[in-house]
Structure 1
Amino acid sequence: MKLNKFIVSIVIIILAGNIYAQKQNKQKPNIVVVFADDISAREFPIYNSTVWNADFKGESTDLKMRAKTPVLSRLAEEGVFIKTAWAATICSPSRAMMMTGRYADKHKWWHNGDLGMSISKEGKRRPWPLYESSTLIGHIAQKAGYATMWSGKTQMKGSDLLKFGFDEGVFTPGEQGAPNNPMTDFKIIPKKLGGKKVYINADTGKEMNTYQQYGWYWQPHVRLMNHPSSNKKLDWWPNTKESKEKYGLNTFGPDVELELIFDFMERKQKEKKPFFVYHTTHLGHGSVDFFNQHPDNNYPQTPKIKWTGNEYIRFEPNVTGDKGVYNTHNSLSEPGIRNHVNYLDYQAWLYINKFKEMGIENNTIFIFCADNGTHYYGKGSPVSQKGTHVPFIVYAPGMHLTKKGEQDILVNIADVMPTIADIVGVKIEKNYEVDGVSLWPYLTTSTKKHREWIYSYKKGMQLIRGFNVMKDGEGTWYNVAEDADDLVSFPKIKDWSKMSKVHLDERDQLNTILPKYNLHATAHDAPGYIDKKKLKKNKK
């Protein structure tokens, strides 16, 4: 009898353990998407380009000018990285593609400054908000029971930030006309002098040849959304005694974003809620350097960091001065895109360490990508894949990925939204047309291919690529069956009679796809919108 009771007890313990294990396995994974700003794939050593951006204007082959990314390179090799991932050619439409899983024929965000228009409930003309045209990644995650946070650059002109499907936000402005933060003078503001519109540096009072912007790097312009430290839906930061004491010249915006992200992650873990973080960092984007206003310097310096071989050491900034006269005391990095990439690598290291500290590394999916090509090189370019080719890394050590390292497949930024829907277990509505294709089946099964072609756009220009041929926005065709050392200088196809049947068939297939999305001239704005100015012009 005692033996039988012992056996029954063991069986009960085993069954209980199995039930607990099943519950653990069914726990939804956390997701972090880092969407870097204006950084081409070629800036990352894993892509093995023979050329990259110099510190200022121009290109370089000098290894000293190349970013060093020991952490992101490791994550790419241990996880996966995509050889050919495309975004849009510039910021706003790329972010629209990411959030909606759709191309511009549907969301109508064709280019920066070329956004489809609509009429608000109040009868005002404004850009068509994405949350009115589409289902967004934030909405998908919320539907699955996730706590959601959006941190960083917004670039959502004419939109209500409370409606994107995020419970909390830490915003640094990305568009002109954003609200003016009273906490900082690091901003370029428009004024009229003698009837002429000029831009004034609020820190120095001097006119500058630039555009309206608020500083998002040093002494940054930061806005909180639904943060527990405030009773306001939208509130300026710093907003507490402690944060106000710390805030000043040595406050670096990307550090603030990450600190508040980690606080959000810790709070949601205590609440036992899975989280989705959409981190649209400004790192990579050029800006006025309020510390060093040299006309060739488009990249504000970052705090100094050092990779020891095992870990990063970050050195405390020590900047003093006021009103345009500053001394950095050699405490910051050199200017240049490479140091922004290096700082992203440092932040990736912080992310992974935080996951480990919280005990969630094996239940967290980390996706790293960018919105368009590097400034002075690919940003806004419709030539070859200069504007569209971006890094794309997926690190998910506990998710049993069936692929590892470089993946010679075609991926589009529009694929992120349906991928997240797949991961969190939300079915996209049948009547919602998605252009993106979930990457999750490819990453977790034995399938060899993801998709046959990728697409992008710049205003009315269209870019499309398969495995053998590519057509850029200027109408030039390229043979992409073999690699280009610099990732863009593919042979131009001038005589189709010399090309193989495989090339010809793929060209014909791509040409049948393009008309579906070619609506810039005929359906530029939201359905039902009537441009009265155009009507008056046409009548004349």
Structure 2
Amino acid sequence: MKPIQLSRWGCICLIICSISSMAQFRDPRPVKPPPNIIVFLVDDMGWEDTSVPFWDQLTDRNKRFRTPNMERLAREGVKFTNAYATPVCTPSRVSMITGMNAAHHGVTNWTSPRKDINADAPDPALDTAPWNWNGFSPVQGVPHTVYATPLPALLKTAGYYTIHAGKAHWGAMGTPGANPYNMGFLVNIAGHAAGHPQSYLSEENYGNMPGKATPQAVPDLEEYYGTGTFLTEALTREALKALDEPVRRKQPFYLYLAHYAVHVPLQADKKYIQHYQDMGLDEAEARYASLIEGMDASLGEVMDYLAARKIADNTIIMFMSDNGGLSLVPPRGGTPHTQNLPLRAGKGSVYEGGIREPMLVKWPGVTKAGSTVAQYIMIEDFFPTILEMAGIQLYEAVQTVDGKSFVPLLKNPGQTDSLRTLIWHYPNKWIAEGGPGINYRSALRQGRWKLVYDQQQGYTELYDLVADIGEKQNLSGVYPKKVSALLSLLSEQLQHWNAPMPVLKASGKPLPWPGK
């Protein structure tokens, strides 16, 4: 029997019929556009600097603050009770934009706004570690920087309208990393090389006073000079104005709203400070609380904008802080290193007060309202998570990504992974006087266990964070095998990343790896 043969026109007709037949079975539901994504990043906000409890109980510190919009976001989304960043700001920001752990990217301390300035405090016995003090660079070959592909550039390539507003602080002046436009942002509002504002006050032009401006003077906000508009509010207004363009175009957007609040200088937001003065707080703490409430008001304005434009149902909001709350006195009030209790210490420390953060995520249609995730996550996890949220499965990045997407946790908040290890590495001297867990420390968390390693002394501590969230009881003498196992994990990973280590002045050699 001869095979059936069709003429060319017969073949064409058959193909057309097949396509027509397939069209009848095509899913009739409209294709949902990619979600809008907002990262709302706060500077120096502690785990308890909010009326939202991130512990299993409401504390006296929670009762001090008024953050109704964080409460609103927590009711509508998911709360992470074990979210972590690094002890100080620039390492966290570089980790978020690259997906790399700080020990891997080597930007282990805050970067000076001035190029080629090492921000480490001097030490009599140790020379500085060879860390990347010029920060992050999207361009290869810049000395003392880490070269990587930035997250916003990948989002822009995928069709997102990318907006930066507020604090950048990725790289020093005169390097590509200082400018958010080089990161893939289409809009930049007030972002530059500095890590804090010279002033929050429009009466002081946010620092841009003739003859008085420093590198910390906030750029781009001239229209608000002398208007009585606090910096937090000015940034919020400008960010929302920038959103009008992609909303009009119906183009997905990525807004990175990185407030300078609540970093020093602790200046009063006049709209909110009276309440805290009436509570009897000392002046420093009243100013701090007013900064917190002003930041929360900004979050509310963003959420109200989304609702008014009828885009809230397709917009993800991610709330995070870049390190633990400041606990130095001054500029804070009270007893030093008590501002984050029950957590130990504060900013600059690898103890929980310096690294555990308030984190909230709302993803309409995915996250369950009012849910809680207890699984620990790290700030480098934002990179793969945001790409997955945006539906970007294939991308080209020059770096190896250390972060792990927490999208599965958003879908199933009860998931746990007690074998995952988180690593902190701070081979730097932040402040001369030191403090609990500050200067030359590394740490590792696996499950309930937390190992703290003093690089200079070779001393180890072990804590059970489930039973002892305040890290009061050092169990290293009780569980020596656990210490040995965790120390080996820490040492192997630091060596794998070729992490920078401080250098002994006496010998000119770096300090040994943990356990060596």
TM-score, normalisation: structure 2: 0.69
Identity of paired residues, percent? Answer: 19
Tell me if structure 2 keeps the 8 A contact 1:385–1:472.
no
Q: Distance in 2 between matches of 1:262 and 1:179?
A: 23
The equivalences for 1:10-409 within 5 A come to 19=28, 21-23=29-31, 25=32, 27-45=33-51, 46-48=53-55, 61=60, 66-112=64-110, 113=119, 115-116=131-132, 126-128=143-145, 130=146, 133-158=147-172, 159-160=175-176, 161=179, 162-173=181-192, 175=194, 214-215=216-217, 221-223=218-220, 237-238=221-222, 243=223, 247-248=225-226, 250-287=228-265, 299-305=266-272, 335-376=286-327, 377=337, 378-396=345-363, 398-401=364-367, 404-409=370-375
Partner of 1:412: 378
Tell me if structure 2 keeps the 8 A contact 1:99–1:417.
yes
Q: Distance in 2 between matches of 1:434 and 1:374?
A: 27
Q: Distance in 1 between matches of 2:499 and 2:76?
A: 46
Q: Distance in 2 between matches of 1:381 and 1:31?
A: 29
Matched, 1:443 2:410: yes
Give the partner amino acid of 2:246.
Answer: K
Give the partner amino acid of 1:517.
Answer: L
The Cα offsets for residues 280-320 of structure 1, whole Å up to 9 and x where unpaired, read as 10111011xxxxxxxxxxx10114159xxxxxxx9xxxxxx
Please give the secondary structure, in 2, of the residue aligned with 1:145.
coil
Matched, 1:491 2:499: no
Alignment equivalent of 2:461, drawn from 455, 466, 477: 477
Tell me if structure 2 keeps the 8 A contact 1:300–1:335.
no
Paired residues, number: 415
Tell me if structure 1 keeps the 8 A contact 2:389–2:407.
yes
Q: Distance in 2 between matches of 1:472 and 1:439?
A: 25
Which stretch has the larger CA shift, 272-281 or 339-348? 339-348
Residue 99 (structure 1) shift? 1.0
The Cα offsets for residues 105-159 of structure 1, whole Å up to 9 and x where unpaired, read as 432201122641689999997441x5xx112221221122101011101213323
Residue 489 (structure 1) shift? 3.5
Distance 1:151 1:514, change over 3 A: farther
Partner of 1:322: none
Q: Distance in 2 between matches of 1:123 and 1:437?
A: 25
Tell me if structure 2 keeps the 8 A contact 1:86–1:390.
yes
Q: Distance in 1 between matches of 2:25 and 2:501?
A: 59
Residue 49 (structure 1) shift? 8.6
Partner of 1:466: 446
Residue 345 (structure 1) shift? 1.6
Give the partner amino acid of 2:82.
Answer: T
Partner of 1:508: 485
Distance 1:342 1:92, change over 3 A: same
The equivalences for 1:424-435 within 5 A come to 424-426=390-392, 427-429=394-396, 432-435=399-402
Please give the secondary structure, in 1, of the residue aligned with 2:444.
strand
Q: Distance in 1 between matches of 2:471 and 2:189?
A: 39
Give the partner amino acid of 2:488.
Answer: N
Residue 264 (structure 1) shift? 1.6
Tell me if structure 2 keeps the 8 A contact 1:151–1:257.
yes
Distance 1:402 1:123, change over 3 A: closer
Distance 1:454 1:250, change over 3 A: same
Flag the structure with higher strand content: 1
Residue 401 (structure 1) shift? 2.2
Q: Distance in 2 between matches of 1:417 and 1:83?
A: 20
Q: Distance in 2 between matches of 1:303 and 1:175?
A: 25
Tell me if structure 1 keeps the 8 A contact 2:160–2:252.
yes
Tell me if structure 1 keeps the 8 A contact 2:41–2:257.
yes
Please give the secondary structure, in 1, of the residue aligned with 2:375.
strand
Tell me if structure 2 keeps the 8 A contact 1:462–1:518.
no
Q: Distance in 1 between matches of 2:486 and 2:453?
A: 17
The Cα offsets for residues 87-118 of structure 1, whole Å up to 9 and x where unpaired, read as 11001111111111102343220112264168
Q: Distance in 2 between matches of 1:425 and 1:188?
A: 41
Which stretch has the larger CA shift, 346-355 or 151-160? 151-160
Residue 509 (structure 1) shift? 4.8
Please give the secondary structure, in 2, of the residue aligned with 1:417.
helix
Distance 1:304 1:28, change over 3 A: same
Give the partner amino acid of 1:409.
Answer: Q
Residue 393 (structure 1) shift? 0.6
Residue 518 (structure 1) shift? 4.7
Give the partner amino acid of 1:468.
Answer: R
Give the partner amino acid of 1:515.
Answer: E
Q: Distance in 2 between matches of 1:38 and 1:383?
A: 14
Please give the secondary structure, in 1, of the residue aligned with 2:30.
helix
Distance 1:177 1:489, change over 3 A: closer
RMSD over aligned CA atoms reads 4.2
Residue 372 (structure 1) shift? 0.6
The Cα offsets for residues 296-351 of structure 1, whole Å up to 9 and x where unpaired, read as xxx10114159xxxxxxx9xxxxxxxxxxxxxxxxx99843222221222111111
Distance 1:51 1:359, change over 3 A: closer
